Amino acid sequence: MRIGNGYDVHRLVPGDGMVIGGVHISCPYGIKAHSDGDVLIHALCDALLGAAGLGDIGRYFPDTDRQWQGADSRDFLRRVHEMLAEHGLRIVNADTTVVAQVPRLAPYVDAMRAALAADLGIHAAMINVKATTSERMGFIGREEGIAAHAVVLLESDK
Ligand code: MG
């Protein structure tokens, strides 16, 4: 068994929507990022790579590479999933939390869970998505950014 954790944060800006956990959220905000800025998928990729001992998302999809400009982060997640399979690693379960003061994410968590499970080839019961606020404290509470945490457990085929 191997455990991994991931954390990511992105800047919140005025906009016309964002993608979190692979799900489009209609709101008067956007995410400032090189890729699509899917903070939840980035944290989840880092947790998976961390558990596998394979470094971090920046190693494979650097934000200095124009190839990844505006990239769909679900492509990152599917690629990370392939890398796990190549190393004989399977997901036991994953638990994630998105911390956002705005927009309100609770109505979207089931759709996020389904999207992430589909990209990882696992049953939705094996992944959990939670949404919370920061009680109006700090940069998240001031609506300057959104953060995400992920913890995963992997098991080896071997
Ligand atoms: Mg990121």
Cα 95 to ligand 1 centre (Å): 18
Phi, psi (rounded to 5 degrees) for 143: 65, 35
Cα 158 to ligand 1 centre (Å): 32
Cα 137 to ligand 1 centre (Å): 22
pLDDT beyond 80 at 158: no
Cα 38 to ligand 1 centre (Å): 7
Cα 11 to ligand 1 centre (Å): 10
Please state whether the predicted TM-score (pTM) of the whole model is above 0.85. Answer: yes
Segment holding 151, helix H or strand E? strand 145-156
Q: What is the pLDDT of residue 70?
A: 81
pLDDT beyond 80 at 20: yes
pLDDT digits (tens, 9 = 90+) for 78-127: 999 999 999 999 999 999 999 999 999 999 999 999 999 999 999 999 99
pLDDT digits (tens, 9 = 90+) for 28-61: 999 999 889 999 999 999 999 999 999 999 999 8
Q: Residue 144 carries which side chain, given as an amino acid letter?
A: E
Cα 107 to ligand 1 centre (Å): 23
Q: Which DSSP state fits 102? A: S
Cα 42 to ligand 1 centre (Å): 5
Read off the pLDDT band of 69 (50, 70, 90): confident
Q: What is the pLDDT of residue 71?
A: 86
First CA to last CA across the chain, in angstroms? Answer: 11
Cα 32 to ligand 1 centre (Å): 10
Residues 6+ apart with CB under 8 A from 153: 1, 2, 3, 51, 91, 92, 93, 94
Residues 6+ apart with CB under 8 A from 116: 21, 22, 40, 41, 44, 77, 94, 96, 127, 129
Pairing state between β 127-132 and 89-99: parallel
Q: What is the pLDDT of residue 85?
A: 96
Cα 9 to ligand 1 centre (Å): 6
